[in-house]
Copies of this chain bind each other. A is one copy, B any other.
């Protein structure tokens, strides 16, 4: 009856690619679309509205799992704005943490680059900086795992054997 669009039109209207709309449906982020007899998906304005919501949340960097929660709050008339705000603040923290981390890396590198003449000669503080001392950068959430505890396992120089290289 009402205005009905196929996936391409819904994609254009919402800003979410058809590929992604299908994907969001497959992971249950958005409900399964109605189908025409032909198998084509059908979208009405409400569907498009929801997709636009997802699109804007993605534009703000929300990961899909958090958007799943946001969609739940969106459609829940009994939600408290406190829940939404808490979710948003958590996300803001993560965004700023990542931004800080990136900027920190850029700053360290800028320091090395500033010390580099950038001429035709091979001497280069940047290369030396990579070769030598560890980067002080206080890594963010994505903390470096430290591979494994060294502990017991030690050097063990191999006695005269097949020789290497």
Residues of chain A touching chain B, judged by Cβ–Cβ distance below 8 Å, are 1-6, 8-9, 11-12, 15-18, 34, 36-37, 42, 44, 49, 52-53, 56-57, 59-61, 70, 73-74, 76-82, 84-86, 88-89, 91-92, 95-96, 98-100, 102-103, 105-106, 108-110, 112-113, 116-127, 129-131, 134-135, 137, 139, 144-148, 150, 153-158, 160-165
Contacts and interface: CB of A to CB of B under 8 A. Distances in A.
Copies in the complex: 2
16 contacts: A2-B157, A12-B147, A36-B158, A42-B158, A44-B164, A70-B127, A73-B127, A76-B122, A79-B122, A79-B124, A80-B122, A81-B123, A81-B124, A85-B124, A88-B109, A88-B112
A40 to B, nearest CB: 10
A84 B127 contact: yes
Given A60-B105, A80-B120, A92-B113, A53 B130 contact: yes
